[in-house]
Amino acid sequence: MMNDGRTGAMDERLPDEVVLGMIARRLSEAMDQPWHVTGDLAKGPGSLAVVLGEDHTGHPGHVDIDFVLNVDRPGNTTISDCATGYGTTPEETVERAIEIWLGTTGSALLELLAQDGSFAGHYAADDPDGFPGWHMIHGGITGWGIGDDFQAVQRWAADNPLAPHLAPALRSSFDRDHLIGVKAFFGSGGDSETAEIRVDGIHHEAASEVLAGLPWPRPAGGMSYARTFLLLVHNEGGDEGRERGRDETA
């Protein structure tokens, strides 16, 4: 299975405190509020924090990011995800991984805090393009590839909502009724094809098979991939779901 990104720098991994500093800087810019590194976490305003997850790949450009909405209650307020960047130096590679995370997963998380549509879009529990029964925030869609049609999968993802297709395979596997993170990464290049769904950072086989069976484009003679993130706020949906999601940060 292909990694979530492309790589060019194969040097040693950056120290965790350096990676946390890079994340803190980008979040400070995005939120226009200060983040700083203290100990083994990046601390944001109020109860927010970011912790680096366990390195499960050994790859210098792979970053596991645990976004904690309430640092005093991390058990049920942490949304985990990972991203892999590409570049010619370790710094460039990690910076790209953070950018990918911030443009997809991060945008949904920041919208959960902002609640004004400035970072991502909201879908009510009964929206036909949403996740049935859940209030959902749809993070950004990023894409990359090679060739004349390298944006084909990204465009398809923007025009074809994934949530209604994935819901039947996903809904019975959740272990809590709020703040579920669903990442989709899919595309093809040459003889390789990837379709992966991760729920709270863990590969979901059944939903990945559903994604693989959808008619997204497979450009010939090129490479096209897309990544996006769905944040399921609460299974009661609507305004009550929004309030419950906001309460989790308190």
User: Residue 10 domain-assigned?
Assistant: no
- CA pair distance 249, 49, nearest whole angstrom: 11
> How high is the mean pLDDT of the chain?
89
Using pLDDT thresholds of 50, 70 and 90, give the confidence band for residue 11: low
What's residue 95's pLDDT?
A: 96
What's residue 151's pLDDT?
A: 94
User: Residue 193 domain-assigned?
Assistant: yes
What's residue 239's pLDDT?
A: 42
pLDDT of residue 246 exceeding 70, the answer is no
Using pLDDT thresholds of 50, 70 and 90, give the confidence band for residue 61: confident
Query: Are 90 and 97 a contacting pair, CB within 8 Å?
Result: no
- CA pair distance 121, 117, nearest whole angstrom: 6
pLDDT of residue 240 exceeding 50, the answer is no
User: Residue 8 domain-assigned?
Assistant: no
User: Residue 161 domain-assigned?
Assistant: yes
**Residue 175, domain extent:** 16-247
Phi, psi torsion values for 38, nearest 5 degrees: -140, 115
User: Residue 5 domain-assigned?
Assistant: no
Partners of 193 in the β-ladder: 188
What's residue 148's pLDDT?
A: 87
- CA pair distance 145, 75, nearest whole angstrom: 37
Give me the number of domains the chain comprises.
1
What's residue 244's pLDDT?
A: 44
Query: Are 39 and 176 a contacting pair, CB within 8 Å?
Result: no
Give 208 or 238, the one with higher predicted confidence: 208
Query: Are 228 and 138 a contacting pair, CB within 8 Å?
Result: yes
Dump pLDDT digits (tens) for 158-181: 999 999 999 999 998 998 899 999
What's residue 236's pLDDT?
A: 67
Q: DSSP code of 221?
A: T
What Rg, from alpha-carbon coordinates, does the chain have? 17
- CA pair distance 158, 181, nearest whole angstrom: 19
User: Residue 40 domain-assigned?
Assistant: yes
Using pLDDT thresholds of 50, 70 and 90, give the confidence band for residue 8: very low
What mean pLDDT do residues 80-92 have?
91
User: Residue 2 domain-assigned?
Assistant: no
pLDDT above 70 as % of the chain: 88
DSSP calls for 25-37 = HHHHHHHTS--EE
Residues in CB range of 186: below 8 A, 6 or more apart? 153, 194, 195, 196, 211, 212, 216, 225, 226
Let me know if 238 is exposed, middle or buried by CB neighbors in 10 A (0-12, 13-18, 19+). Answer: middle
Q: Which residues of 41-56 are buried (b: 16+ CB within 10 A; e: fewer)?
A: bbbbeebbbbbbeeee
- CA pair distance 99, 93, nearest whole angstrom: 10
Residues in CB range of 172: below 8 A, 6 or more apart? none
What mean pLDDT do residues 112-128 have?
96
- CA pair distance 243, 226, nearest whole angstrom: 31
Using pLDDT thresholds of 50, 70 and 90, give the confidence band for residue 58: low
pLDDT of residue 184 exceeding 80, the answer is yes
pLDDT above 90 as % of the chain: 75
User: Residue 184 domain-assigned?
Assistant: yes
pLDDT of residue 245 exceeding 50, the answer is no
What mean pLDDT do residues 131-139 have?
97
